[in-house]
């Protein structure tokens, strides 16, 4: 079974919102995301634990074992419906850089609303190459 950020947050959130639980969640995120905590996880964790993003970032910086990543992520649905949109896939590949990790994932199970993408963990329907350009521009990539 694939690791899922939302499920991990729900799991830890059920144990409480104290700082130890928060740090344990951050450690798991870091481990599952290849050694750093991705930027897109920060607002989701902060919201679910009822803390400000600035507080969460301070916790991450204070803990020597935690590292914040600086890479944005773009997931493109490669399922049978969304995968037909070659222009979107080609635009995504052109945008890949040190600051943007692009990956193609299996069907996101919302085929009727496709093509679907996730940028920094946020889902977008009806994605176009123009949307990709807009999102990366807004993120300063
Ligand atoms: S093919 Fe993209 S959501 Fe199913």
Q: What is the DSSP string of 86-104?
A: HHHHHHHHHH-BTTEEEEE
Same domain, yes or no, for 81 and 53?
Answer: no
> Helix, strand, coil % (nearest 5) of the chain?
50, 15, 35
**Domain match, 18 and 53 both:** yes
Structural Rg of the chain based on CA atoms: 16
Question: Cα–chain-centroid distance for residue 79?
Answer: 19
Is pTM beyond 0.75? Reply is: no
The burial class, CB within 10 Å (0-12 / 13-18 / 19+), for 126 is: exposed
The neighbouring-strand residues paired with 60 are none
Q: Which domain holds residue 97?
A: 72-138
What's the total number of domains in the chain? 2
Q: What is the whole-number distance in angstroms between the Cα of residue 14 and the centre of ligand 1?
A: 31
Averaged pLDDT in 10-residue chunks for the chain of 141 residues: 85 95 96 87 92 93 90 91 96 91 92 94 92 92 85
- Predicted pLDDT of residue 108: 94
Q: Which of 75, 111, 123, 127 to mutate to test the pocket of ligand 1 (most atoms within 8 A of CB)?
A: 111
CATH code (residue 113): 3.40.30.10
Q: Is the CB of 126 under 6 A from ligand 1?
A: no
Distance CA 128, CA 125 (A): 9
Please tell me whether residues 79 and 129 are part of one structural domain: yes
Return the pLDDT at 2. 66
Q: Which two tokens stand for residue 64?
A: 């020597």
Q: Is the shortest distance between the CB of 111 and ligand 1 below 6 Å?
A: yes
Q: What pLDDT is attached to residue 48?
A: 94
Structure tokens at 140: 């300063």
């Amino acid at each position: 079974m694939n690791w899922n950020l939302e499920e991990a947050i729900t799991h830890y959130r059920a144990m409480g919102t104290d700082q130890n639980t928060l740090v344990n969640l951050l450690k798991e995120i870091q481990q599952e995301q290849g050694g750093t905590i991705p930027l897109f996880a920060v607002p989701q964790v902060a919201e679910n634990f009822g803390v400000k993003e600035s507080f969460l970032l301070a916790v991450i910086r204070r803990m020597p074992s935690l590292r914040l990543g600086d890479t944005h992520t773009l997931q493109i649905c490669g399922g049978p419906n969304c995968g037909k949109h070659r222009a979107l896939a080609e635009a995504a590949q052109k945008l890949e850089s040190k600051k943007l990790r692009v990956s193609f994932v299996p069907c996101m199970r919302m085929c009727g609303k496709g093509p679907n993408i996730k940028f920094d963990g946020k889902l977008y329907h009806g994605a176009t190459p123009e949307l990709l350009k807009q999102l990366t521009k807004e993120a300063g990539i």
